[in-house]
Each structure stands twice: as C-alpha cells, then as structure tokens.
C-alpha cells in the first residue's frame, strides 16, 4: 500500500514537471507568435524595399508621406528627416527605416496605401518581381533553342562575337552609301581610334560624366553574325549575366514586323509579350527598358525621317514604319533605350544625329588586328 502511495507521489511529481514545461512552452509559443507577427509586418517593407528604391518617384513619395501624416503614422520631424536623406533612393531607404521603428502600424499604413493605389509606380513596386521572372523565363525558353544553331553558324561565339568594335568620330551615317564603304570607315585608322566594346558594357556610359546611349546602332555586312550576337545577348540578360540595370529587354525582328500594318506602341508590346498585362508599366519611367530591333535591312518599309507623321502617344495607332521612326527619333517612348542592327547601307537611312553609339560586328577586323577580338 505504501509502495503504491510512493509511486503515486512520483507520478504526480512527473505530471507537475510536465505541466510546468507545458506552461513554459505556452509562454514561448505565445512570445514566438508575437515576434513572428511583427516580423511579418516588417517583412512586407523589407520584401519591397528594393522595388521602392528602384521605382519610387518624387510625386509618389510625396503622396506616401501625405498619407502617413494623415493617419498619424509620421510626424513633421520624421518627414523632414526623410526628405533630407539625399537622393530619391536614399529617401526611400530612410522611409523604410523610420517605419521599421513603428512596428506593425507603420508597415500596415504603407502597405495599405501602395496596394490600394492605382498609380503605375505602385503596380511596378508590387508586381515587378513576378513580371520580370516570367519575362526572363519566356525569353530564355524562346532563345535557348537557337543556341545550337548559333553555335554552328558562329563557331567563335564565345570569343569574337562577344566584343564589338566601337566606331568613334562618325559625323553622319547618311554620308555612307555602300556596305563596304561603311565598314571601311574604320579601316586604316590607328588603333587608338578603335575601342573594344564588350557585351556587358554595350549600353554603359563610356566615361564618368557621359550618359548611357539611348539609340545604339550595330552594323555589319550580311551573314557576319549580328542576329547571333543579339540572341546571345538576350540569353545572357535573361540569366542575369549582363546589363542587369535594364529591368526589361523587349526584342523584335524586322522580318516579324513586316507582317504588321498599323498599330500602337502599347499594342506592339502586348502582341509580342501578352503576359505583360500593362505595357505602359515597362515602357515609361522609372522602368528602364531596352527595345531591340534586329535586321533593319530586312524591313519591307523604307524609314523616312523627314516625312514621318509625328506621334508621342504610345496608345495611338500609326503605320509600322512611322511607329519605328518615332521611337528612334524619341517622339515615342523617350525613356526607353533602343538597339538597332543592320547592314551599313540601310543603316545610313538613320540620321547620324539620332544615333548615340555606333558599333561594328566584324570578323575581318579581328584578323587584321590580332590584338582585337
């Protein structure tokens, strides 16, 4: 009987210990849940911090600050600290830093404002990651099947085709009337007038004080590998290997554009990339986009920069040749970068004053100067 009583005491003791542990676990679970909830609140701000830094505009920042003051999340002193942080990117960082010290209500207020806003910048902030991921996947899948064909047509893809020759000192391409004459522009020049332009630097400023080119033109005789080079660039960008400062790269070929008659810039992008639900998001500032037009010499229309009907509305339908002309001229989509490839003779149709950078794709150049790729 005493033995049973002793065992009963031991059992009770074990149960008490278990109950104490259970109590501690409940406390711990409650504390962890609170920390997790706070982490999730702050996590929304952290999740979209990069997008805020990339796409936040001055106007949209003013709207955010006005809203946060209205709901008593932000004080006048905190607003001043944010505005005095420096450049817009720094102000975005300071905004998230200030809100991080306000626990959930700061993050909730910012999240509520951005998610309920109809401004294009808010859609970029919220949807950029999913949009660009889908776009890169589609491009990579589309251009990957060209890899084997490109390797056969240009067996030196990994060497000479990764470097173009930058042509300095061209005054006006209209003065050049023949392929060989055009390519011969750089022949006989001293090497200090010839500059290698690698794949990663194709659209970068050449000096610290210069701006990146808006319109780039790559010339080369027929069959030299211009299209192969473009495809290689698209694959590399889709994998994040080059030009990551471009948020979107939208490639077109003139042979495909030949089938079109009349359309708008928005409709062109929507037709080619239907998964980009709102083309205006990727065709305007603050999004940095590169439009590629490959093979101007295959275009059935002759670009007429003198008589083209001016158009600055991306939703207005115009003839396909007027559309391309207005994009190159900068009337349409002035914030996008444009890359055109062509045989030199046809490239002379583009006024030199509209072209910021001219490069040459030439294997002959490599053989004549062994120290150039």
Residue 245 and residue 333 in one domain: yes
d(CA 193, CA 209): 20
Domain co-membership, 95 together with 176? no
In a domain, 373, yes or no: no
* Region 138-143 average pLDDT: 94
- Looking at every residue in the chain, the average pLDDT score rounds to 81
Helix H segments across the chain?
2-47, 49-55, 58-70, 76-83, 88-100, 103-116, 120-144, 147-153, 179-183, 226-238, 254-257, 265-272, 280-283, 320-329, 344-347, 363-368
The 3-state secondary structure of 253-309 reads: EHHHHCCCCEECHHHHHHHHCCCCCCCHHHHCCCCCEEEEEECHHHCCCCCCCCCCC
Instruction: State percent of the chain over pLDDT 70.
Output: 75
Asked if residue 166 has pLDDT above 90, the reply is no
Cβ contact 312:265 at 8 Å? no
Do 28 and 63 have their domain in common?
yes
Residues 6+ apart with CB under 8 A from 58: 88
In a domain, residue 131? The reply is yes
Does a structural domain hold residue 103? yes
Kindly state whether residue 161 falls inside one of the protein's structural domains.
yes
pTM score, two decimals?
0.79
* Residue finishing a domain among 57, 90, 117: 117
- Are residue 178 and residue 227 in the same domain, yes or no? yes
Domain boundary among 60, 89, 117: 117
- Same domain membership, residue 202 and residue 82: no
CA atoms within 13 A on the CB side of 289: 23
**What's the domain range around 150?**
126-368
pLDDT for 152-165, tens place per residue?
Answer: 655 555 444 457 77
Residue 67 confidence (pLDDT) above 60:
yes
Residue 78 shares a structural domain with residue 152: no
pLDDT value for 146 = 81
Q: Count of domains in the chain?
A: 2
Q: What is the predicted pLDDT for the residue at 103? A: 78
Q: Is residue 311 part of a domain?
A: yes
Asked if residue 48 lies in contact with residue 92, where contact means CB atoms within 8 angstroms, the answer is no
Q: Average pLDDT for residues 188-208, to the nearest whole number?
A: 73
Q: Are residues 66 and 133 in the same domain?
A: no
Q: Residues 345, 213: one domain?
A: yes
Boundary residue ending a domain (117, 149, 167): 117
Q: 29 and 110: one domain?
A: yes
Least-confidence region, from 31-35, 188-192, 201-205, 233-237: 188-192
Same domain, 111 and 141: no
* Torsion (CA) 314, 316, 319, 324 in degrees, nearest 10: -10
160 CB burial (10 A radius; 0-12, 13-18, 19+)? buried
Q: Is residue 29 part of a domain?
A: yes
In this structure, is residue 68 part of a structural domain?
yes
Say how many Å lie between the first and final Cα of the chain, rounded. 98
How far is the C-alpha of 243 from the C-alpha of 238, rounded, in Å? 10
Per-residue pLDDT reduced to its tens digit, 75-95:
999 999 999 999 999 999 999
**CA distance readout (Å), 223 to 26, 230, 254, 292, 342:** 73, 13, 16, 18, 11
- What's the token pair of residue 115? 């998610």
Whole-number percent of the chain with pLDDT over 90? 62
Residue 254: CATH number of its domain: 3.40.50
Residue 181 has pLDDT above 50, yes or no: no
- CATH of residue 17's domain is 1.10.533
């Amino acid at each position: 009987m005493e033995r049973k009583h002793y065992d009963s005491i031991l059992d009770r003791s074990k149960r008490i210990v278990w109950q104490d542990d259970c109590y501690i676990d409940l406390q711990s679970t409650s504390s962890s849940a609170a920390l997790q909830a706070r982490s999730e609140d702050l996590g929304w701000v952290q999740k979209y911090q990069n997008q805020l830094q990339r796409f936040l505009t001055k106007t949209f920042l003013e709207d955010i600050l006005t809203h946060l003051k209205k709901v008593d999340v932000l004080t006048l002193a905190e607003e001043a600290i944010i505005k005095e942080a420096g450049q817009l990117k720094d102000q975005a960082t300071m905004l998230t830093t200030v809100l991080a010290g306000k626990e959930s209500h700061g993050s909730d207020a910012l999240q509520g404002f951005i998610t309920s806003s109809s401004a294009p910048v808010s859609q970029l902030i919220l949807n950029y990651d999913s949009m660009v991921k889908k776009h890169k996947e589609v491009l990579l899948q589309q251009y990957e099947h060209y890899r084997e064909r490109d390797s056969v047509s240009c067996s030196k893809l990994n060497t000479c085709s990764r470097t173009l020759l930058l042509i300095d000192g061209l005054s006006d391409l209209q003065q050049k009337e023949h392929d060989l004459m055009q390519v011969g522009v750089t022949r006989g020049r001293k090497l200090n007038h010839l500059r290698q332009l690698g794949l990663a630097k194709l659209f970068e400023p050449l000096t610290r004080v210069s701006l990146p080119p808006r319109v780039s033109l790559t010339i080369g005789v027929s069959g030299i590998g211009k299209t192969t080079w473009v495809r290689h660039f698209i694959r590399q960008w889709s994998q994040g290997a080059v030009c990551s400062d471009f948020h979107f790269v939208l490639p077109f070929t003139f042979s495909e554009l030949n089938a079109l008659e009349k359309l708008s810039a928005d409709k062109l992008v929507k037709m080619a990339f239907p998964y980009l639900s709102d083309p205006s998001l990727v065709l305007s500032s603050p999004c940095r986009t590169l439009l590629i037009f490959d093979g101007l010499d295959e275009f059935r229309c002759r670009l007429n920069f003198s008589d083209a009907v001016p158009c600055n509305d991306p939703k207005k339908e115009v003839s396909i040749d007027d559309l391309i002309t207005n994009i190159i001229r900068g009337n349409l989509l002035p914030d996008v970068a444009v890359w055109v490839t062509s045989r030199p003779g046809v490239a002379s149709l583009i006024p030199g004053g509209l072209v910021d950078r001219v490069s040459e794709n030439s294997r002959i150049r490599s053989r004549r100067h062994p120290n150039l790729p």
